[in-house]
Structure 1
Amino acid sequence: MSVDALFQPLKVGTLDLPNRVIMAPLTRARATEQHVPTPVQLVYYAQRADAGLIVSEATAVHPMGMGWYRAPGIWNAEMVAGWRAVTEAVHAAGGRIYAQLWHMGRLVLPDYIGGQLPIGPSPIAGEGETFAPRPEGDTSHFLPMKPYVVPREMTQADIEGVVAAYGMGARNAMAAGFDGVEIHGANGYIIDQFLQSKTNRRTDAYGGSIANRVRLLGEIIEAVAGEVEPGRIGLRVSPTSERKGMGDDNPAALTEAIGALAQDHGLAYIHLIEPIASGFMEKPDYPVMDHLRAVFAGTIIQNGSFDAETAASTIASGKADAISFGRPYIANPDLVSRLRHGYPLAQADFDYAYVGEDKGYTDYPRHTAE
């Protein structure tokens, strides 16, 4: 079948995209241990600048929300300067790039925050384990792993601090030259922890009903919109995902509330993680795309296990306006060309996905026809 639908131009908010291939956020751990973007990152992003839009790797808005070894932040001037070099490289290569604003909430290990407990909506630990910082003198290839801990239940002051951090992160992102920002409300991080009923057991104005559980998201959108025009703000959500101990009693109703909130604020897009086949995330038994379409008139970007043909057919059918690709972008800096021409995709070396420098990061070659 034709894949032409994937390569049509698209206006997303105030931004004109040359195609509908979106580079999904991919946290790759190439910043410094102080979470400052490095020169190798500008090479990596510039290599992928022909994407319709690049969404940066998850970028922490506050030290308490940073729980990933060598992931970037955007809460100080040095980080802003590091990101400015990245955005300038992407723009010089003809690309467009949004910053994904991130706070990990309960999924931060105490090791990253001076031994403090992480914060979350309720004192419920995430399921599983995550990368811990590399111990001093450790020269092994792989990072140590540790289980998540029970977080401290957030106070009103904590909530207000997180909202303010997102606002400051948005201001810093624009100072760094990003074309816009994506609020990370997915994958079990702090906003998702408030949204989903399994992780939010609060009895105050931020818990219980769906209207209460979306309150934090609404306040964050308002804070971000105070720094960035709504036509340059996106939102990523995963209301059907149960990874890391997530879960909701009524994902469809939750999706409608999220979509209505985004519609009311005039956001440019919603980036929905809803796989069409099980892989990195499970395919949901009851998809929510139609529920989102019913309440949100902006651009919908869908993510999860797509190839060129399924992406094009999803766009042609009107179910989504663009498709984001994550893991295929690791080993295919020229993914747009490969999808357009049907070239085979290179496979990533996951031994170097989250550790290293150039190897497994900027050294994947572009396709050359024999």
Structure 2
Amino acid sequence: MAATDTLPNAPLPELLKRVGFQRRRRGFGSATQLLWNRVESNASLLALCRIREDLTPEDEAILGQCQEKLEAARWCLDKPLGRWSFSFWELIHEVDGLLLLVMPASMLVPRALEIQQQFERRVSDGRALLWLGADRVSGPLPRCVRRLAHVDEPGSGPAAPPPFDAGQDRYCRSVLRGALDSVNQQVDKTFWQLSINVSLQVFSTLLLLAVFVVSFVLLSPALIDGWPDTLVPRGLLLVGFAGASGAIVSNMLSKERFVVATGATSRFFAYHLLVKPVLGAFAALMLLFLEQSRMLFSVDTQAGNMTGDTSSAILHIVVSGPQAVFFTLMALAVVAGWSADKLLSSIMDKVLGRLLGQSEKVLPPSRPVGTPAPPPKGAVPP
């Protein structure tokens, strides 16, 4: 079947009659056509495998499974609303592995060389040592590829390897199937990680635009000129939105390497699109409260700094005017939202230490051990 913009009106496969898929009647884009070419390439290879004269009942069962999975892959690709990408690629990978068990030996050799090359290039964790060996030539995968490619031909003498029989052929094909499965898992993991990161960036952009719209509605010249008298409630909302925007921008600029790229991916989206913005808003408000209390730092104008304010703040930030105070606090709120988790843990330790230090200054001095208590007031000394 050729890859075109329209698909033939074939009957629904038996595997999907219980699902109720319907065909999509519109044209297909270039990406869909490439995926469809992949399906048809496997279909043509399946047709070539069927013409073998030495097929066993096991081979016939494998070919039947391949045909069924290809039909399911076609309909996963042709869904009217949304494409089942996970199911499509799982089916294609299963067909690729099953075809290795039944394809002719002449077609298996180039496929085996390609699998070894892909494995050496893409798999670099502990599986590489298991499949390739310590020297990358003594593992089961290189040995099977050499046997299939007749690199290690039987020689003469007692050390000559035994002839390549049917059992060894089945073993080598199974090894190739396992190696191909490892390669596909690595490729799929990288692809889904990229997909999740791009989706997070897109949703973060939409969320950031929504925060901008709400902030523009809340922001006004009266709010800036009257700061900090206008802190409640619009000022608190603006500071919270500034912290949330910092957390959202961190989602857009950072690329997480998720350990699990499939499964309950909605939890990743909930954390980055809900938990992190709320945490960033809380960090920004915490920073604002510390500035207003002047416990750790303060933002003052030049005129306010000349009045001799002897606050207990450790850090003093001096700016030019009242408007500069407002925008400086907003900038600090964005920074607090960017690294809210690290900032909160550091701030909490410093705040607790500062509170304990101030409480020790007002407590009465402790009495040394063994010193008699002072007599009560009005008592006659002995």
Verify same fold: TM over 0.5.
no
TM-score by length of 2: 0.19
Of Structure 1 and Structure 2, the greater helix share is in 2
Which structure exhibits the higher relative contact order, with contacts defined as CA atoms closer than 8 Å and separated by 6 or more residues? Answer: 1
Please, what TM-score do these two structures have when normalized by structure 1? 0.19
Which of the pair is proportionally richer in strand? 1
